[in-house]
C-alpha cells in the first residue's frame, strides 16, 4: 500500500447503467488496495449513500435520471465532501458537463466507451485504479464540515539565479492526472500581458480540450484557447494542445507557431509532453522554458531534459502539492530541474523568468 492511502480505499460507484456499475466494480477491485463498498443507480441514491457511508472516493456518471451527476456532485461537496471522479461518455455535451464538474469541485474525470459490444472500456482500468488511489490521498487534504481548514503550506521559494538564462520566448507546460485542478490554480494567477506564449499539454480525451480551454479562458486574465494548426503562438496567449493530435513548436520569421499532426503515433499520449518540449528545445534552445506538473508516468522527461541540455530553464512541481508525483519525480530523479516549487509558487516563477534581465549568453 502506498504511503498515505487508507487500506483499503472505500469506493462508491454511481451510474445508471448496470453494465457500467459491474464493469467499474471489476476494474476497481482488480487492485487489492481498492474496495467497492456499494453502488447507486442515480444521483439521488448516490447522494444518500455518500452521506450515509462516507466513502473515500466516489465515481460518478454525468447523465442520470432523477438527479444528474452535476447536481449530485454539488450536493455531495456541500453535505459529505469527498473526492469525486466523473465518468463521462465521449460526447460534446458530456465533455462540457465534465469540465463544469471540475469547476464544481470534482477531483478528476475518466472517459468511457459507450459501445458496450466493445472491450475498449477495459483500457481505462489502469487510469481508474491510479486515480482512485490518488483521490484517496487527496481526501486527507480536503476540509471537512465543521473542521477548520489547515493553514496552507508556504510555497518553497525559488533558489536558482536566472542571471545566466535567456528570457523565455516560449513556455511549455506538461501535466496529466490532477492537471485540470493544478491549471485552474496557477493560470488565473498569471498577470495579463505576458511577453511569451504558453503552450500546455494536458492529457485528455479528444473533445475535452476545447471545453477545458473555454472554461480556463473565463477564469484567466490572459486569453486561453485550444490550439489550431499552423497558427502563430502569440505573446500573452495560453494554448491548450488539442487532444488527438501532436503539437510541435516551429520557428518562423515572425515568431513561434503551432504545427499539429497525428504523428508520431507510438507515444502513450496524444498530444505528448515530450513531443512538444523536444520541438521547443530544438527550435528555441536556451530561450525555451519547461514546466512539469502533477501526473502519472514519465511523459515529459525527455522533453524537459532536452530543454535543460539546450540551456533553457526547467521547473518541476514539488511532491508536497502534487496530486500524483510521477512526471515531476521522473524529472527530479534525472537531475534535470533547475527549480522545484509547490504549485502556488509556479506562477510567480514564470513571471520572474519573463521579467529578469539575462546575461549576454552566446548561441541562445
Output the CA angle 238-241-244, nearest 5 degrees: 165
253 is catalytic: no
Please identify which of the residues 176, 227, 279, 321 carries the catalytic annotation.
Answer: 176
Cell of 163: 542571471
| 109: Cβ contacts below 8 Å, ≥ 6 apart | 85, 86, 87, 88, 98, 101, 102, 180
DSSP secondary structure of 104-150: TT--EEEEE---TTSSGGGGGHHHHHHHHHHHHHHHTTSPPTTSPPP
Which residue bears the cell 500524483?
Answer: 324
Residue 34 Cα distances to 119, 181, 345, angstroms: 22, 23, 33
38 is catalytic: no
Residue 103 in contact with residue 86, Cβ under 8 Å?
no
CA distance 220 to 170: 19
Cβ atoms < 10 Å from Cβ of 130: 18
Please identify which of the residues 42, 56, 108, 299 carries the catalytic annotation.
Answer: 299
CA distance 259 to 245: 10
Please identify which of the residues 88, 138, 166, 203 carries the catalytic annotation.
Answer: 203
Residue 149 in contact with residue 143, Cβ under 8 Å?
yes
176 is catalytic: yes
Cell of 22: 459491474
Residue 91 Cα distances to 1, 110, 212, angstroms: 36, 13, 14
Which residue bears the cell 506562477?
Answer: 347
Catalytic residues: 176, 203, 299
Amino acid at each position: 500500500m502506498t504511503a498515505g492511502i487508507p487500506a483499503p480505499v472505500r469506493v462508491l460507484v454511481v451510474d445508471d447503467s448496470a453494465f457500467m456499475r459491474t464493469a467499474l466494480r471489476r476494474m476497481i477491485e482488480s487492485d487489492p488496495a481498492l474496495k467497492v463498498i456499494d453502488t447507486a443507480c442515480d444521483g439521488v441514491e448516490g447522494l444518500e449513500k455518500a452521506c450515509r457511508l462516507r466513502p473515500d472516493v466516489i465515481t460518478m456518471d454525468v447523465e442520470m435520471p432523477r438527479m444528474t451527476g452535476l447536481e449530485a456532485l454539488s450536493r455531495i461537496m456541500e453535505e459529505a465532501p469527498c473526492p469525486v471522479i466523473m465518468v463521462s461518455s465521449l460526447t460534446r455535451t458530456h465533455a462540457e458537463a465534465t469540465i463544469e464538474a471540475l469547476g464544481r469541485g470534482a477531483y478528476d474525470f475518466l472517459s468511457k466507451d459507450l459501445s458496450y459490444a466493445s472491450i475498449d472500456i477495459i483500457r481505462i482500468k489502469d487510469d481508474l485504479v491510479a486515480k482512485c488511489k490518488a483521490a484517496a490521498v487527496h481526501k486527507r487534504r480536503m476540509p471537512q464540515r465543521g473542521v477548520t481548514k489547515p493553514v496552507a503550506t508556504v510555497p518553497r521559494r525559488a533558489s536558482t539565479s536566472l542571471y545566466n538564462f535567456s528570457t523565455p520566448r516560449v513556455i511549455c507546460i506538461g501535466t496529466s492526472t490532477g492537471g485540470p485542478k493544478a491549471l485552474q490554480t496557477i493560470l488565473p494567477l498569471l498577470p495579463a500581458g505576458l511577453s511569451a506564449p504558453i503552450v500546455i499539454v494536458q492529457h485528455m480525451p479528444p473533445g475535452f480540450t476545447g471545453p477545458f480551454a473555454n472554461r480556463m479562458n473565463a477564469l484567466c486574465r490572459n486569453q486561453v484557447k485550444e490550439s489550431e494548426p499552423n497558427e502563430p503562438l502569440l505573446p500573452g496567449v495560453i494554448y491548450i494542445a488539442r487532444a488527438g493530435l501532436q503539437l510541435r513548436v516551429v520557428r518562423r520569421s515572425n515568431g513561434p507557431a503551432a504545427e499539429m499532426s497525428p504523428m508520431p503515433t507510438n507515444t502513450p499520449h496524444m498530444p505528448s509532453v515530450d513531443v512538444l518540449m523536444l520541438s521547443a528545445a530544438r527550435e528555441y534552445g536556451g530561450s525555451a522554458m519547461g514546466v512539469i506538473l502533477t501526473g502519472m508516468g514519465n511523459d515529459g522527461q525527455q522533453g524537459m531534459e532536452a530543454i535543460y541540455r539546450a540551456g533553457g530553464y526547467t521547473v518541476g512541481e514539488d511532491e508536497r502539492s502534487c496530486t500524483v508525483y510521477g512526471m515531476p519525480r521522473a524529472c527530479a530523479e534525472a537531475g534535470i530541474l533547475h527549480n522545484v516549487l509547490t504549485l502556488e509558487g509556479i506562477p510567480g516563477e514564470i513571471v520572474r523568468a519573463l521579467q529578469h534581465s539575462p546575461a549576454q549568453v552566446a548561441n541562445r
